[in-house]
Amino acid sequence: MRIGVSLPSMGRLSTPENLIEAAQAAERLGYDTLWTADRLLYPVNPRTKYPVTPDGSLPEVYKRVLDPLDALTFAAAHTSRIGLGTSVLDIPFYNPVTLARRLTTLDILSRGRLRAGFGLGWSADEFEAAGAQKDRGARAEEFIAALKAIWAEDPVEFHGKYFTVPRSIIGAKPMQKPRPPIYLAAFAPAALRRAAALADGWMPVAIPLDGMTAMIAQLRQFAREAGRDPQALDIVVGANIAVTDKPLGAERAIFTGSEAQVRGDIAAVRKLGAGEIFFLLFHENSIGELLGMMERFRRLV
């Protein structure tokens, strides 16, 4: 099972020096991937609750967020091996043609290290600020289809309900062949069906083990219905990790508690067939403490 870690592209630690130090430390420690998230706003009076925290509040690190692709490109220039992933880019914020160029550029400049993770977003405030349209599920399906067409052979041509690419030469293609892997975050059945039919893998975050077990079974059934090999879908699990000195009770969140409890969660996720787990480190104290966490958590896997 591969192991990844988030790049400090959010919060007080999101400086050029810290990005370099964290990226190089992750590569030195044997991590397989670095990941960045996509946030546009920290609404003062949010209209939508944050789906990850129990009370729906936003993490403080979301008050300062660097562009996820620019941060990964910067990290790519200071590393040589480690994969570079987005968890996740919110599709409603983007046009597939212009985003495809940015993703292609990152894959070329990193010599084939891109992992493209996408989601639909959740914030009504961000949708408004980005000018996002309705029919987000249908748009997402067409977005992925357009992206795949752009990454295929020239000349490129795509005509959909929402996006159009006139017959054109788009000579810059990703270094990875046939293209970089595409992952989708999904919770609802319709979104899981979309991931099973269109993506190379699924990216669950903050889902309890019982729920993840049921959703993986559903994902694989959807893949069979779509005529795809269910075992070929890569499962990349995001872990909001918090290790405590003493064990936590039965109501604890997954990947929280004592080292033994977290190790047990990691083993359970591996048993479910996950191809990768990556640690989401929302930390703002110091880069030294963050690097210490990266080293400690790397030993858990």
Domains along the chain with CATH numbers: 1-79+233-301 (3.40.1280), 88-180 (no CATH)
Q: Are 18 and 9 in contact (CB under 8 A)?
A: no
- Strands 156-159 and 164-168 come out as antiparallel
> CA–CA separation, 183 vs 116, rounded Å?
6
Length of the chain: 301
Determine the pLDDT at residue 54.
Answer: 81
* pLDDT value of residue 40: 97
- Strand ranges (E), 16-119: 33-36, 83-86, 89-90, 114-119
This model's pTM is above 0.75: yes
Residue pair 143/75 in contact (Cβ under 8 Å)? The answer is no
In this structure, are residues 8 and 282 in contact, taking their beta carbons and an 8 Å threshold? no
Tell me phi and psi for residue 292, to 5 degrees: -65, -40
* CB neighbour list of residue 147: distance below 8 Å, 6 or more residues apart: 96, 99, 100, 103, 182
Rg over CA atoms, the chain: 19
DSSP per-residue string spanning 163-206: -EEEEE------SSSS---EEE---SHHHHHHHHHH-SEE--BS
- Predicted pLDDT of residue 142: 98
What CA–CA distances, in Å, run from 155 to 106, 143, 224? 22, 18, 32
Alpha-carbon gap, residue 33 to 23, rounded angstroms: 9
The C-alpha atoms of residue 208 and residue 215 are separated, in whole angstroms, by 10
pLDDT score of 283: 86
pLDDT tens series, the chain, 301 aa: 999 999 999 999 999 999 999 999 999 999 999 999 999 999 999 999 998 888 899 999 999 999 999 999 999 999 999 999 999 999 999 999 999 999 999 999 999 999 999 999 999 999 999 999 999 999 999 999 999 999 999 999 999 999 999 999 999 999 999 999 999 999 999 999 999 999 999 999 999 999 999 999 999 999 999 999 999 999 999 999 999 999 999 999 999 999 999 999 999 999 999 999 999 998 899 999 999 999 999 999 9
